[in-house]
Amino acid sequence: MVKEELIKTITQKLNQKEIRWDLLEFTSGAFMVDFHYMGDFYSIQSDTVTFGLSKMKKGTETEFNSVPDKTFDTLDMLLNELESCMNQG
């Protein structure tokens, strides 16, 4: 799947939940989709081969870095984790 299709698939999932998001694209081809949900901050990171998801809980003093909390080998694995996070809220 090409980068544009990956971004479209991820952002459509967020749009279905009416979640506002920001996209950051890098010259390397990597991208990040950042969003807030139920007071927490999330960042989806991808180099188009692997995927990562980071969560910073509201009220914690966690510093964000580019190393994801969880990594996934497929988009489906990432989307399943994303859905799980959204269902917890």
Would 71 be classed as within a structural domain? yes
* Domain span including residue 58: 3-80
Q: pLDDT per position in the chain (89 positions), as tens?
A: 789 999 999 999 999 999 999 999 999 999 999 999 998 899 999 998 899 999 888 777 666 667 899 999 999 999 999 999 888 75
Would 86 be classed as within a structural domain? no
Would 42 be classed as within a structural domain? yes
Would 48 be classed as within a structural domain? yes
Number of domains in the chain: 1
Residues 6+ apart with CB under 8 A from 71: 50, 51, 52
Tokens at residue 47, please? 């180099």
Would 8 be classed as within a structural domain? yes
Would 31 be classed as within a structural domain? yes
Would 40 be classed as within a structural domain? yes
**pTM for this one?**
0.88
Would 7 be classed as within a structural domain? yes
Q: Is-contact 7 45, C-beta < 8 A?
A: no
Sheet with 70-72, strands from edge to edge, namely 21-25, 31-37, 40-46, 51-56, 70-72
